[in-house]
Every structure is written in structure tokens, then in C-alpha cells.
Amino acid sequence: MVKEDFLSGNEAVAEGAIAAGCRFFAGYPITPSTEILEKMARLLPQVGGRFIQMEDEMASIAAIIGASRTGKKTMTATSGPGFSLMQENIGFAIMTETPIVIVNVQRGGPSSGQPTVSSQGDVMQTRWGTHGDHSIIVMAPNSAQECFDLTIEAFNLAENYRTPVIILSDAEIGHMRERVLIEKGRKLKKRIRFKDGRVAFPFGFDFESHELVPPFPVFGRKNRVHVTGLTHNIVGYPKTCDSGVQENLLRRIIDKIELNKSKICKVEIFNPGADILIVTYGSPSRAALEVVKNNKDIGLLRLITLWPFADEELMMLAKNVESILVLEMNEGQMLSEIERFARRAGCQRIEFLPKVGGNLHHPHEIELKIMEMKGT
């Protein structure tokens, strides 16, 4: 069954969360993400879920991690300043392998910056914001429809890999209204749980199946599990001075994402075989789409999953192009990652067209830049 609606990106995120089975939301108001909080406050009681407005963003993410440990699918939404406050507990969710979904509707920064206008300044913060080695899944929608679709996808990935998943939206996507098709009865991923009763190795690696994601112990199911953010052994007990324990744990929580990159990473490719390739994601990709629709000699790689980085897809395209144009609404955050892999594939010319301050890329200025690249 498909329902048609006219929603902003933020509203579509909330609808997507409900469709994905999210039944607990904790948050704190912040522009430009507040509509998600407001919509969840209205929607959750209608489906038997719970909503709470917490005292700050640190408490919001703590509450959704706590609720997730009781087996619920949970989400919070914020923007830059609130996202900064959440960093420590993102690490806690990674370390304790607790599935959660965090929506960051980006605004201009640093600090309070530009609350009402768009930016892509948090790309590297989503990757390395919390301290310590880790891996993470981040997705960047470019339409209201994708806000709906990727939110469902985010819950599925979080449940499947027992990890936090971040939806990196921005003020432009969040506040733009578009037609959204709400499809009921999507395939949802269920968290694999331990059976009721004692569990010997709740944080174990299954050497037989080579399964990197252990089943989830749900609080109140007689599993009697100790969950800690300290380095822990497979029993779940703190073992902070044993280098082997840290190495095994860290490698597993990184590998469970990095080794499944081909299943996680989503990209969109237009005009493969063109000499010039645009690489972009989020809001600027809408302008880039206009360009490649009208110019068959320009290719486009749109990153839907930002992290883990789609290096294979990029290298496959980069080895056959003369030059690459990177579009971002920041001073070059993904640029270095794109350069690294494009150079490895043999493409040496990488140009950059940044936009900061809230202005969007115009298709015409992208075309001008490409003409300039062709001319020299």
C-alpha cells in the first residue's frame, strides 16, 4: 500500500522512523531539526511508543541508548551544537554495541553559527567526532523522499550491525517540502537477541559462524548481563589493562562494518564513461543532477552512504576519467578522502567548488566551472 503525502524532509524522517518501528524518541529542541522532535511527540503515542523531551542533548542520547537496551528501536534528532554534546555517548553506543539512530540536520558552524541555513560542516565530525578508534555508518539524503527511505534503512543497518547510524541531513533538505510516497509494509530488520536465561559470552565472537555481530542481550530477560563502556572481555567484564582484549574488541567492532562495506555502501551513478566526473552528496547533488541530465559528457557519483566511504565505487570510476570535480557545502571535508582514492586509481586532476554561508550551488556555476576545467 502506498500513501502519497506532501512533507518536509524533517517530517519525512519522523514518518520513516515510525514506519521503521521506532518506538522511543528522546530529544531537545534545536533549529533546524525541531520539527522531527515535534512530529515524534505527536506520532509516537498513536503507535504505543514513548516520547520524552530531555534536559539536554547528552541526556537525550543517553535515554535512547538506555531504551534500546530494553529492546526498543530508538532515535534522537539534533543539529550541530547538540550533535557536539552527543559525541561522548555516541562512543558509548559504539563500545556497548547498542543500536540507535541519530539525525543531524546540519546548520552553519562552528559554535552557534547560522541556525537557519544549510551547511555540510559536520561530515568529519560524524566520522571522528567521538574519541578513540571506531567505525560508523553515516547516510546523507538529498530529498524528502530519501529522508523517509534512508531513515528506514538507518534503523535496519543499526539493528543488523548493532551500531549507531547517523542520518546527516541539512537545513535545506530538512525544511524543503516535496511529494513523498509512504509505502507500508517495508521489509524491516529485526535485532537478533539472546534467548531468555543466562548468557555466558554476551560480547563474544562466534568462531564457528565467523559472525562478527553477537546476539543482543535485552534487559529484563534473565540474561543478567553487565554492560560497560570500559574495554570488556567476551563475558562483558571490564579488562582495561589487557592489550589483547582491547585489540580483539576494537578489531571486531571496526571489522563488522568495514568488512561489510559492500553491503552497506549506497551510491548513485549517472553517465558512467564520461571524461569528467562530479562527486558530491546531500544538497549540492540536486544541482549536480540538473547538470548531468543536460550534459551526457559529465558523469556523477552521488555518495548516499558517506561512511564507510565508497572507495571501491569511486576508484572504479576514477581510473577512467580525466578529472574530478568535488562539490561540497564546506571548506573541503570529503575532498581529502576523494583525492586520496582518486589519486590511487590514477586520476590526478581533482577540482573543488565549495559553498559556505548558506548559498547553494547553482547548476549554471557548476557548468561554468566544468567549462573552465575543459579549457585548460
Partner 1 sequence: MTGIFDFYRKDRWPHMFCPGCGNGIIMNCLYEAFTDAALDIDKTVFVSGIGCSSRIPGYIFADSLHSTHGRAIAFATGIKLGNPRLNVIVITGDGDLGSIGGNHFIHACRRNLDLSVICVNNNIYGMTGGQQSSATPHGFVTSTTPLGNIEYPFSLSALAASAGANFVARWTIGHVKKLTKSIRMAFEKDGFSFVEVISSCPTHTGKMNWMSDPVEMIRWLKDNSLSLKKLEMPKDPLSASNPLDLIIQGKIVIGTFRDANRKSYLEQVDGGDKGGQK
Residue 162 found at the interface with partner 1 (CB under 8 A): no
Residue 219 found at the interface with partner 1 (CB under 8 A): yes
Collapsing DSSP to helix, strand or coil, 67 comes out as: helix
Stretch that binds partner 1, among 31-39, 132-140, 225-233, 246-254 (CB under 8 A): 225-233
Using a 10 angstrom Cβ sphere, with 0-12 exposed, 13-18 middle and 19 or more buried, the burial of residue 200 is exposed
Residue 200 found at the interface with partner 1 (CB under 8 A): no
Collapsing DSSP to helix, strand or coil, 364 comes out as: helix
Binding footprint of partner 1, residue count (CB under 8 A): 39
Q: Which is nearer to partner 1, 194 or 341 (CB)?
A: 194
Stretch that binds partner 1, among 60-68, 113-121, 288-296, 324-332 (CB under 8 A): 60-68
Judge whether 89 and 54 are in contact, CB under 8 Å.
no
State the minimum distance, in angstroms, from the CB of residue 32 to partner 1: 24
Phi, psi at 53, each rounded to 5°: -95, 120
Select from 86, 79, 252 the least CA-distant residue to 161. 252
Q: Which is nearer to partner 1, 217 or 299 (CB)?
A: 217
| CA atoms lying within 13 Å on the CB side of residue 325 | 27
State the minimum distance, in angstroms, from the CB of residue 332 to partner 1: 32
Residue 66 found at the interface with partner 1 (CB under 8 A): yes
Residue 373 found at the interface with partner 1 (CB under 8 A): no
Contacts (CB under 8 A) with partner 1, residues 4-33: 24, 26
Contacts (CB under 8 A) with partner 1, residues 308-367: none
Residue 222 found at the interface with partner 1 (CB under 8 A): yes
- Residue from 1, 4, 46, 55 touching partner 1 (CB under 8 A): that is 55
In the beta sheet, which residues pair with residue 83? none
Please tell me the distance from the alpha carbon of residue 38 to that of residue 41, in angstroms, as a whole number: 5
Reduced 3-state DSSP string for 276-322: EEEEECCCHHHHHHHHHHHCCCEEEEEECEEECCCHHHHHHHHCCCC
- Residue from 12, 65, 265, 353 touching partner 1 (CB under 8 A): that is 65
Residue 58 found at the interface with partner 1 (CB under 8 A): yes
State the minimum distance, in angstroms, from the CB of residue 56 to partner 1: 7
Cα angle 41, 42, 48; round to 5: 85
Q: Which is nearer to partner 1, 217 or 284 (CB)?
A: 217
Residue 56 found at the interface with partner 1 (CB under 8 A): yes
Please tell me the distance from the alpha carbon of residue 108 to that of residue 118, in angstroms, as a whole number: 6
| DSSP category for residue 108 | B
Residue 230 found at the interface with partner 1 (CB under 8 A): yes
Please tell me the distance from the alpha carbon of residue 41 to that of residue 51, in angstroms, as a whole number: 6
Residues binding partner 1 (CB under 8 A): 24, 26, 50, 52, 54-56, 58-60, 62-72, 74, 88-89, 92, 217, 219-220, 222-230, 237-238
